Chains A and B, each alone.
Chain A
């Protein structure tokens, strides 16, 4: 099939950006979206032009590196799918596709479709851990974790940190991302000791990094490739309230 692409091109953080038009010809329906872009890039290189810069790595939907807003939706709008796992069979011959980078104040553009997601790191560093030392910990079975709690923690822990939730949110909020880690550790006995301190520190870091607040649009959940549930945002709020009244 043949497609028309409009791709955001921007040479650097301070350079002006604009949409450029490219034709993608003879696209196989079995190709992934990124493989389609690879071929467009091969054509650009052969023509002596600068290929489109985009982030990608594992191409298995787990590393969280890929990040493209496709036709206005982060990761392209197929339910629970990263861009690398989006396949061209979801498109039709003759389609026009718009490809843009993550759009959020806290994610400055570095080049074309690549943004700086370092702000997410700051949130993790503020408290997304248990302060256990290497070695000298108890036997794994010394801490009993009821299966429902372990499952709940695992549901939260599935977050891949891609930042689609931020890009989808009209407020550029990172609350789904932050809530996933807070909820995971708050649900487990080993995370409880620091729960109050953790939620306060991570929330502050989130605000300091320039992310907006949650106003219940639920776009984050819709865009999340791992189906992280907004119930964790409720958990984050509850944990935060609890910590304030402590």
Chain B
């Protein structure tokens, strides 16, 4: 099947404005007759629920945490891009669009990225109006800094807590709507199934994580904003609760999964310290504004970094990519760091690390300025490693961070199931094969504040409100299915814990479907994952009951989904016989080791249709057309 992304035709500069005009509207008096279910309350979901509630729709919003404010968007540190050109350094909507398309290695849709760049400016204004305390200069104007993949300063920030502040902005808007009664919030509630009636999304089945009650909520449309899936690697920078579950269960009900093999491995994370570790911690990319990456020139150089003289250091990013230097995009910086370590020149325990050195910056601007810019990051680093990064370089190693793949959506953010909308990291649309820094926050808020309020109306206007009631047979069946699934997990009573399975899966994924993939490693993963999955369903031990607060049962369901999803990810990576962005196939590289893309055969979105566990999924393609940015070899030299 050839998928239609429904992108507006004609000049891209006016595409969103023309499309917005063409979309159907819902009369204000009719809006309250519609109910919209929003799953996830991060930047995309929180902003969407608040905006839709404000427009007058009835909204029910769901999150698994105890508060909407705890969504993992809160952990984003560095900043959010916008094409304001406040610093007068040549930025424009077109340049932000161009950088994002190029950064994504020409695997994103032009129209979606244009819209993102266009509304980025509205986002900053919106957040300022909400009282988000962005950094300001002494005249009172908004301040900017630069990020990877760009040569202009377009990143707005709030110390090292930009994601937190933006999320609190969306959360405050959401709280206002809760008070106004337009949004009903269900915290500690996890979506476990999508209810599809006559081919359209009409409800979700959830588990109340406190009481264990399984129930269905029906609505006129469903919005998924449930984040990414890189916890499939077990060790990642995601929060512990981040999972593929909502997306995967929707996928099993017919939603296509697009580009699952595109995952971002972030170059600046704190290296792993031992087998006990439960997760990895990201240090903001903004650190590379002032930190210089280097590895010792000599293999196995165990000297204290401060004792290694200047001429024995290899500032490898500055050497290899002189024009972007330490601000090379994430996939390139990650591979370069791994290359140093694989070459035996890594630092720290196990040689899995490179130095991120601030000594030059401290000499230049003083320790106080560096403290002002990144103080909380230095503190966080010291707590985890017991090292003072003002006095010696930080140690960094790449780690799984973000998923560029997700459920397939068209230009309206609507999946192939009518009435099912997918926003933010949960969809696949704007990042292509790599995400530039400070663009995830932008996408979440763009989708939530400025896209879905328009596009969902187009669907609702064609839909009779309240058509499906809670006693519909599909709802009853969904509840039964979820109960049976959970009971199956609870009754296995095997010998291995859920975490043990998750760790094993993570190892398979990281070694075979991680930063560098080969036909051999991928085939190996596709062989091993079903074996592990089979063992899981025979030998996992889940304690407790379903009708109570049971964190083991929550985790078991999430890991069960990862065990199915991981296989799809490997299959997607295997079929894509090229290297692009975060997808690096060792068979496809230039003589100098750079990624070798194949536009002739793979310039498309790969969207997979679920055919059953242990059955081959079916691939559908959406060809990508580049009319405004010419397909070219990505160069940051």
Chain A positions within 8 Å of B, measured between CB atoms, are 12, 28, 30-32, 34-35, 38-39, 42, 45-46, 48-51, 53, 55-65, 80-81, 85-87, 89, 110-111, 114, 116-118, 120-121, 124-126, 128-135, 137-141, 143-147, 150, 153-154, 157-158, 160-161, 184-185, 188, 190-191
Instruction: Specify the chain A residue showing the minimal Cβ separation from B541.
Output: A45
Closest-CB distance, B524 to chain A (whole angstroms): 28
Contact for A188 among B131, B379, B383, B549, CB less than 8 A: B131
Contact B126 A62 (CB under 8 A): no
Contact A143 B384 (CB under 8 A): no
Let me know if B159 is at the binding interface, CB within 8 A: yes
Q: Which residues of B contact A121 (CB under 8 A)?
A: 67, 175, 178, 185, 187
Let me know if B623 is at the binding interface, CB within 8 A: no
Q: How far is the CA of A106 from the CA of B189 in the complex (A)?
A: 21
Q: How far is the CA of A34 from the CA of B277 in the complex (A)?
A: 10
Contact A157 B133 (CB under 8 A): yes
Q: Which residues of A contact B70 (CB under 8 A)?
A: 57-58, 63-65, 161
Let me know if B141 is at the binding interface, CB within 8 A: yes
Q: Which residues of B contact A51 (CB under 8 A)?
A: 543, 551-552
Q: Which residues of A contact B187 (CB under 8 A)?
A: 118, 121
Interface size on B, residues (CB 8 A): 80
Contact B497 A116 (CB under 8 A): no
Let me know if B54 is at the binding interface, CB within 8 A: yes
Contact A130 B131 (CB under 8 A): yes
Question: How many A-B residue contacts, CB cutoff 8 Å?
Answer: 212
Question: 8 Å CB contacts to A: which residues of B60-99?
Answer: 65-67, 69-70, 72, 74-75, 84, 86
Contact B277 A35 (CB under 8 A): yes
Answer whether A130 and B172 are a contact pair too, CB < 8 Å, given A150-B136, A160-B164, A191-B131: yes
Q: Which residues of A contact B241 (CB under 8 A)?
A: 57
Closest-CB distance, A106 to chain B (whole angstroms): 14
| Given contact pairs A125-B178, A134-B47, A135-B122, a sample of 12 additional A-B residue pairs in the complex whose CB atoms are under 8 Å apart | A63-B72, A110-B549, A117-B66, A130-B172, A134-B54, A135-B449, A140-B84, A140-B128, A141-B142, A157-B168, A161-B69, A190-B130
List 20 A-B pairs, Cβ < 8 Å.
Answer: A30-B274, A31-B276, A32-B278, A48-B543, A58-B74, A60-B380, A62-B164, A125-B176, A125-B179, A129-B173, A129-B176, A135-B450, A139-B125, A144-B139, A144-B140, A145-B133, A146-B136, A153-B133, A161-B67, A190-B128
Q: Which residues of B contact A132 (CB under 8 A)?
A: 126, 129-130, 173
Q: Mark B266-285, 1 if CB is under 8 A from A, else 0.
A: 00000001101111011000
Contact for A28 among B138, B140, B239, B276, CB less than 8 A: B276
Q: How far is the CA of A41 from the CA of B382 in the complex (A)?
A: 27
- Among A110, A134, A137, A161, the one with the most B-chain Cβ atoms within 10 Å of its Cβ is A134
Q: Which residues of A contact B450 (CB under 8 A)?
A: 134-135
- Among A39, A64, A116, the one with the most B-chain Cβ atoms within 10 Å of its Cβ is A64
Q: How far is the CA of A161 from the CA of B187 in the complex (A)?
A: 15
Q: Mark B111-155, 1 if CB is under 8 A from A, else 0.
A: 000000000001011111111111111111110000000000000
Closest-CB distance, A84 to chain B (whole angstroms): 9
Q: Which residues of B contact A158 (CB under 8 A)?
A: 161, 164
Contact B140 A146 (CB under 8 A): yes
Q: Which residues of B contact A138 (CB under 8 A)?
A: 125, 129
Question: 8 Å CB contacts to A: which residues of B173-190?
Answer: 173, 175-176, 178-179, 185, 187
Answer whether A140 and B173 are a contact pair too, CB < 8 Å, given A45-B543, A51-B552, A132-B130: no
Let me know if B430 is at the binding interface, CB within 8 A: no
Closest-CB distance, A68 to chain B (whole angstroms): 14
Answer whether A58 and B239 are a contact pair too, CB < 8 Å, given A87-B383, A125-B178: yes
